[in-house]
């Protein structure tokens, strides 16, 4: 069960904001696994495999993918593929109804043995799959509302400037560590 209230802020963000609460910060609390792309699971369906190949490199590009997330990412890919398949199935049923001269909205309902119209089971499954897909997308920060809560696993210092200023010599060895404060640029 989810905790009530807003999500907790990462300690690193609290430190950047100046620690307004003046409580002791535990800066070592954040779990940041090694960034890396897991291998494609063998049992993954063809539609989910396409989603894996499309989303995986993008998540890796932003340091949001790790091997430890492979099961969750597999569920996300399968869920996206299932939603697409169910949506295509409903669209095909609508096309069939149109060709028969019927209302395409009937694709979303069915009649019970008692004569009552109810939502089509396929549409109910689509709704629940979409809900699961949105929850999984949020876990990876792939919705606009969740992007603000995403923390990436940054493993290397970002390069501030692409090129050196004109007239400035290029660094001798990028892997060499400075020996004193004066050598920092």
Q: Spell out the per-residue pLDDT of the chain, length 185, in tens.
A: 556 777 666 666 677 677 777 788 776 666 677 888 999 999 999 999 999 999 999 888 888 888 888 999 999 999 999 999 999 999 999 999 999 999 999 999 999 999 999 999 999 999 999 999 999 988 887 877 776 666 655 544 445 455 555 545 555 566 666 666 566 55
Residues with Cβ within 8 Å of 165's Cβ and at least 6 positions away in sequence, in order, are none
- The answer to whether residue 81 is domain-embedded is yes
- The answer to whether residue 135 is domain-embedded is yes
pLDDT at 157: 44
- The answer to whether residue 134 is domain-embedded is yes
In 3D, which of 168, 164, 184, 153 has the Cα closest to residue 68? 153
The residue ranges of DSSP E strands in 35-161, in sequence order, are 109-111, 117-119
pLDDT at 158: 46
- The answer to whether residue 152 is domain-embedded is no
- The answer to whether residue 74 is domain-embedded is yes
Q: How many angstroms separate the first and last alpha carbons of the chain?
A: 49
CA atoms of 34 and 60, how far apart (whole Å): 11
Residue 130: helix, strand or coil by DSSP? helix
pLDDT at 18: 76
Q: Which two tokens stand for residue 156?
A: 């290397």
Task: Tell me the residue range of the domain where 83 lies.
Answer: 11-143
Residues with Cβ within 8 Å of 49's Cβ and at least 6 positions away in sequence, in order, are 40, 77
- The answer to whether residue 43 is domain-embedded is yes
Which pTM was predicted? 0.65
- The answer to whether residue 103 is domain-embedded is yes
pLDDT at 98: 96
Number of domains in the chain: 1
- The answer to whether residue 34 is domain-embedded is yes
Name residue, tokens 């090129």.
Answer: 163
């Amino acid at each position: 069960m989810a905790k009530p209230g807003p999500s907790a802020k990462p300690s690193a963000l609290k430190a950047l904001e100046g620690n307004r609460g003046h409580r002791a910060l535990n800066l070592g609390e954040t779990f940041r696994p090694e960034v890396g792309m897991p291998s494609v699971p063998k049992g993954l369906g063809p539609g989910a495999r396409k989603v894996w190949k499309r989303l995986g490199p993008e998540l890796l590009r932003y340091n949001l993918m790790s091997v430890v997330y492979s099961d969750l990412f597999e569920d996300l890919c399968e869920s996206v593929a299932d939603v697409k398949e169910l949506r295509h199935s409903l669209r095909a049923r609508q096309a069939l109804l149109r060709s028969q001269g019927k209302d395409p909205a009937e694709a979303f309902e069915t009649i019970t043995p008692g004569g009552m119209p109810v939502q089509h089971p396929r549409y109910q499954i689509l709704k629940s799959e979409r809900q699961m897909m949105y929850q999984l997308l949020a876990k990876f920060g792939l919705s606009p509302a969740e992007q603000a809560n995403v923390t990436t696993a940054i493993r290397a210092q970002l390069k501030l400037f692409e090129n050196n200023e004109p007239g400035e010599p290029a660094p001798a060895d990028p892997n060499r560590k400075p020996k004193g404060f004066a050598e920092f640029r």
